[in-house]
Amino acid sequence: MFSVTVRDHMMVAHSFRGEVFGPAQRLHGATFVVDATFRRAELDADGIVVDIGRATEELRAVLAELTYRNLDDEPAFAGVNTTTEVLCRTVADRLAERAHAGALGAGARELAGITVTLHESHIAWASYERSL
């Protein structure tokens, strides 16, 4: 199995509901350094998993819909805690939609799966792994 990963980041404000979150129930923020990994069983004729330029652009486009915002105000997250885990799934699912729509090129139909990791600090991160 092969994989390619590209890294970008987003900077958001949000708050959480639920006693388990302690002080994070207050409005605060985070830089999420985001790693998007694309997996594929065999390489294409060019010797790649995916066009890394396109992968980078699509990740940037997905993060552009989230960054520099207060996620508490985003309709897409109404009634949902925007935890690091939830945001991993959001980014992975939106990348999967774009892959299905052809944004990563024809070869992206051969992708086996996507994993998205969000680093919230130097001591904590989360991941979500899905098939395509």
**85 near its own copies, rule: CB under 8 A:** yes
**What angle do the packed helices 52-64 and 84-100 form, to 10 degrees?**
130
75 binds its own copies, rule: CB under 8 A: no
60 binds its own copies (CB under 8 A): no
Give the separation between CA 130 and CA 40, rounded to whole angstroms.
Answer: 12
Rounded least distance, CB 31 to its own copies, Å: 4
Q: 97 Cβ partners below 8 Å, 6+ apart?
A: none
Q: Residue 92's CB: how many other CB atoms inside 10 A? A: 23
CB of 102 to its own copies, least distance (A): 15
The region, left, alpha or beta by phi > 0 then psi within -120 to 50, assigned to residue 38 is: beta
Site for its own copies contains 121 (CB under 8 A): yes
Which member of 29, 65, 100, 101 binds its own copies (CB under 8 A)?
29
- Residue numbers 3-22 binding its own copies by CB under 8 A: 3-9, 11-14, 16, 18, 20-22
